[in-house]
A and B are shown apart, each in its own frame.
Chain A
């Protein structure tokens, strides 16, 4: 992420887009769009809508941290920052001047699987936004030098300090990924990378990375908002049409992960309240089991009627909060449970209580009403997301990039609504098994506050 200010807003938009769509009022839950591909391989998606006089432009590249090599982790994200330092015909600062400086906004985001650049501008600035995106797709290397790379390297190291190292519980995600996946697995390292690898990135690394992945045949350009389709087509062709196609890309092979045994870890952090994390490897975007896993997540924790929240936070009052999530990457996924205890209650006690509740759910399955409550809000979420041109552009680009179908959101919505109690029971039994990682984060010097302390191995941080 290039900037922090936008993060929370953006995540709301995207997370709604990720699970949503609806159909009871079919006229309002569609995103009218058209899509075509330029001869150089660039996929273009156009979704005109004049309700608000802005246009959102999304340049979606199919490259993320999984495409990195061990020893060069954090590279895709570091590169995202470099993309804002100017290109052949757009000196540093031009991008901000023609987006934020005209009343719009811009940002970028990198995940394990993809890197997305986006801007929202007043409707009359669409042409310059396309010119900006085309210039950095076609001409970034013309002006790139080690000075620009070094400046952004320092910024990214500060981003890592702010979001990970100086954040209570901030290392949880990296410790868990490292424990679930073997060290060579492309999902085992964090998107932000290690300090050591960030230092090692060379100018030549940047250039090679750009030549392979930032080619039109690896990109999806999605435009949503107040514009004329003919204008957009003319400008897209003018600015992107002459950028040459890149070489074919070899994607890493991403094996599914199953764990046969439980890994137990404890990590001492500068915190005053301990916290328990349990993670099971599951499936990613390409598997339909993720829909039932998402519903399982929605009935397990969240509102006070959900099983673990009701039992642990309300009835037993042993926890202050319980959270669950099914995180779907492109190729694999994880189902995660997080519990923060109330004073006087141990992580050991809470782990046992949570396991008993999950076992009961696995045995009896959820009720129909639980499923209904979990999915009743999807229509509102979807229609609400349509109010944002950026939300629409992102939804279409995600579908095109991951599923080769900008309209994939409709399939996704139908599949979410079709989940049955039997589906949820099946995936709970299939994935929430003994093969999992249990991590306790405890205050420094309080290893005894871990869940089952004698069975939990202290995690030692390798200095990065």
Chain B
């Protein structure tokens, strides 16, 4: 019998003896076991400096597993860099960086990364972009060298551009079959208008207009160290890893300039309107209800987080508890604020069984009005929302990737280094009257955009009969008919 088995026997003996005792014991099962002492908030430490090429640099050591997360994050994204007539060039450029370098073709790149057990992700989003990877500690230097090659020496083969363009055109066609994709294109289009970058979708025309020169120009303007933060988190030595990174990025010269976030004015708001997009025969109606919201820098951020957690941020939040759990109209409804540099949207919604579209809309309106004061907030509701937000934080630094994201968020949103340490106090400060105030201020009931994608033949009449708002018909691109 080896050591392990002896231990097991001891365990079993202990178990059986104790069971005999406990089986007799009665206790009150209806009493909720109280929580133990809350775990301390352990925010990872990090060190800041600057690389020779001017990029900011942050390193955070984490040694529990042999893993590394590496990222170069760029501030400013498609909305700051793209020509609106060429929407999609940023995302296409990101994909093109996987298609080969001056010394490795696309297949050689793919093969090398597979053999390292890693993959390098490049993306360009609305307000930022990144290139990065996760790897085991031992494969970190080799993967970093490949990243540097992709960043500095992309070859942008013309045939690859045509292949990617064709794939995207098919994806765009397929998106028009999917009610939720349609809603995600129509909703911002109506909310922000075509003159605002948030309202501009990638279209067939914009995709077809993009040339290889556009891709080269976007790459040159965007992937520059003076708007970049380089982060490395994990099983590395803070000092030596900086030298490794300087060496790998030595061919990436100083350049670029910090992004400016200047957005055009929002279109003047329209009276609350239902924008109905016909999807004949649809089993469900997709709802997207909301308005432009505040930027992440708003002093009301914490009150908005508490408010939204109560309204539609959790399973037992008001919207889901009512529309899914009590009424059974949906598999799930929710709400959120898209916080960023610009006026990201407040959006609530979900997929609603077609026959209940009208009554579900009535309930949505009831809850949006309720959180603004007509349905008082209970003490328990407020406490649960705060507990949920505050007590989630200690568990969010579990992986090298999540620590990296936590650091990058502070940089992109201009938040202080002690943000996480202060978070609980800021949430705790929020009072019921703050919740009601921000709900009223940021959910504009008189000017809501209500996008509903569904079976017009069966839902238009009932929606109209609710009297909630006039109905305007829109096509799947969001153009009014």
Which positions in A face B, CB cutoff 8 Å?
Answer: 3-5, 25, 28, 34, 36, 38-39, 51-54, 88-89, 93-94, 96-98, 100-104, 106, 120, 122-128, 131, 135, 139, 150-155, 157-159, 161-163, 165-168, 226, 233-235, 237-239, 241-242, 270-273, 303-305, 310, 313-314, 317, 320-321, 340, 342-343, 372-374, 376-381, 383-384, 386-389
- Is B430 part of the binding interface, using a Cβ–Cβ cutoff of 8 Å? no
Q: How far is the CA of A38 from the CA of B22 in the complex (A)?
A: 12
Collect the chain B residues with CB atoms within 8 Å of residue A271's CB: 174, 177
Nearest CB of A to B117, in Å = 4
Where the two chains meet, the residues of B that have a C-beta atom closer than 8 Å to any C-beta of A are 7-8, 11-12, 14-16, 18-19, 22-23, 27, 29-30, 32-40, 42, 64-67, 106-107, 110-111, 114-118, 134-136, 139, 163, 166-167, 169-171, 173-174, 176-179, 281-284, 314-316, 324-326, 328-332, 334, 351, 353, 384, 387-395, 397-400
Q: Known contacts being A168-B174, A168-B177, A317-B166, is A88 close to B282, with CB within 8 Å?
A: no
B44 to chain A, nearest CB (A): 11
- On chain B, the residues within 8 Å of A127 by CB distance are 33, 35-36
Is the beta-carbon distance between A378 and B64 smaller than 8 angstroms? no
22 A–B contacts from the bound complex (CB under 8 Å): A34-B7, A38-B19, A39-B16, A53-B40, A53-B394, A53-B395, A98-B32, A102-B387, A122-B38, A124-B39, A128-B35, A131-B33, A151-B328, A155-B330, A226-B39, A233-B14, A233-B15, A237-B15, A304-B106, A373-B114, A377-B118, A380-B134
List A contacts of B18 (CB < 8 A): 234, 237
- Give bound CA distance, A152 to B330, whole Å: 10
Q: Using Cβ atoms and an 8 Å threshold, which residues of chain A touch B40?
A: 53
Shortest distance in angstroms between A441's beta carbon and chain B's nearest beta carbon? 11
User: Which residues of B are found within 8 Å of A102, using beta-carbon distances?
Assistant: 35, 387-388, 391
Instruction: Report whether A162 and B351 are in contact in the complex, using a CB–CB cutoff of 8 Å.
Output: yes
A311 to B193, CA, bound (A): 43
Q: How far is the CA of A97 from the CA of B117 in the complex (A)?
A: 40
Cross-interface CB contact of B107 among A93, A125, A237, A305, cutoff 8 Å: A305
Contact A139 to B29, CB < 8 A, known contacts A53-B39, A304-B106: yes
Distance in angstroms between the alpha carbons of A158 and B390 in the assembled complex: 32
A36 touches B11 (CB 8 A): yes
Residue in A closest to B111 when the chains form the complex, CB atoms? A305
Q: Within the assembled complex, what's the spacing in Å between the Cα atoms of A103 and B177?
A: 37
> Does B110 lie within 8 Å of A122, measured CB to CB?
no
User: Bound state CA distance, A54 and B11, in angstroms?
Assistant: 25
B173 engages A273 (CB within 8 Å) = yes
Bound form: Cα–Cα A120–B387 in Å: 15
With A52-B395, A237-B15 known, 11 other A-B pairs at CB within 8 A are A28-B65, A34-B7, A34-B8, A122-B391, A128-B32, A131-B32, A161-B331, A233-B14, A237-B19, A314-B106, A387-B65
B171 shortest CB reach to chain A, Å: 7
Contacts A122-B39, A272-B174, A272-B176: A155 and B324 contacting too (C-beta < 8 A)? yes
Instruction: Count A-B contacts at CB 8 Å.
Output: 240
Q: Which residues of B contact A381 (CB under 8 A)?
A: 117
CB neighbours (8 Å) of B14 from chain A are 233
Residues B114 and A124 in contact, CB atoms below 8 Å apart: no
Report B168 CB to chain A, min CB distance, Å.
9
Q: What is the chain B residue whose CB lies nearest that of A138?
A: B29
Among the listed A39, A120, A343, A383, which residue makes an inter-chain contact with B170, where contact means beta carbons less than 8 Å apart?
A343
* CB-based contact A305/B325 at 8 Å: no
Query: B residues within 8 A CB of A3?
Result: 315, 332
How long is the Cα–Cα vector from A28 to B227 in the complex, in angstroms? 37
Q: How far is the CB of A78 from chain B (nearest CB, A)?
A: 13
The answer for the CA separation of A343 and B353 in the assembled complex, in Å, is 34
Closest A residue to B134 by beta carbon equals A384
> Residues of B contacting A154 with CB < 8 Å?
328-329, 353
Q: With A100-B314, A151-B328 as given contacts, are A342 and B166 in contact (CB-CB < 8 Å)?
A: yes
List, in ascending order, chain A residues with CB within 8 A of B283's CB.
161, 165-166
Give the distance to chain B from A426, nearest Cβ to Cβ, in Å. Answer: 23
Which residues on the A side are within 8 Å of B139 (C-beta)?
380
**Distance, CA A384 to CA B32, complexed state (A):** 35
Q: How far is the CB of A33 from chain B (nearest CB, A)?
A: 11
Among B314, B324, B394, contact of A122 (Cβ-Cβ < 8 Å): B394
Provide the residues of chain B in CB contact with A151, threshold 8 Å: 325-326, 328
Nearest CB of A to B348, in Å = 14
Q: Which of A96, A106, A242, A380 contacts B22 (CB 8 A)?
A: A242
**List of A residues within 8 angstroms of B395 by Cβ:** 52-54, 103-104, 120, 122
Minimal beta-carbon separation of A92 from chain B (angstroms) = 8
Contact between A321 and B167 (Cβ–Cβ < 8 Å)? yes
- What 5 A-B pairs are tightest by C-beta distance, nearest first? A154-B328, A103-B391, A53-B39, A103-B392, A124-B36
* Chain B residue, CB-CB nearest to A238: B22
Query: Quick check: A101 and B39 within 8 Å, CB to CB?
Result: no
Is A380 within 8 A of B314, CB to CB? no
Shortest Cβ gap from B321 to chain A (Å): 8
Contact across chains for A383 and B65 when beta carbons are under 8 A apart: yes
Which residue of chain A lies nearest to B181 when distances are taken between CB atoms in the complex? A168
Would you give the shortest CB distance from B390 to chain A, in whole angstroms?
A: 7
Whole-angstrom distance from the CB of B364 to the nearest CB of chain A? 15
What residues on B are CB-neighbors of A4 within 8 Å? 331-332
Q: Which residues of B contact A34 (CB under 8 A)?
A: 7-8, 11
Contact B331 A162 (CB under 8 A): yes
| Complex CA–CA separation, A154 to B23 (angstroms) | 40
A241 contact set on B, CB distance < 8 A: 19, 22-23
Q: Are B66 and A342 in contact (CB under 8 A)?
A: no
Contact A304 B107 (CB under 8 A): yes
CB of A38 within 8 A of CB of B117, answer no
Q: Considering the chains assembled together, what is the distance between the CA atoms of A132 and B200 in angstroms?
A: 48
**How distant is B382 from chain A, measured CB to nearest CB, in Å?**
12
Given A53-B395, A100-B316, A340-B170, do A159 and B35 touch, yes or no (CB 8 Å)?
Answer: no
B388 and A103 contact, CB distance less than 8 A:
yes
A-side contacts of B115, CB under 8 Å? 372-373, 376
**Residue on A with the closest CB to B160?**
A314
| CB of B64 to closest CB in A, whole Å | 5
A340 to B115, CA, bound (A): 28
B290: shortest Cβ distance to chain A, in Å? 18
Return chain A residues, CB-CB under 8 Å to B329: 154, 158
Cβ of A339 to closest chain B Cβ, rounded Å? 12
| C-alpha gap A28/B110 in the complex (Å) | 27
Contact yes or no, A97 B384, CB < 8 A = yes
A residues less than 8 Å from B34 (CB atoms): 128
- In the complex, chain A residues whose CB is within 8 Å of the CB of B167: 320-321, 342
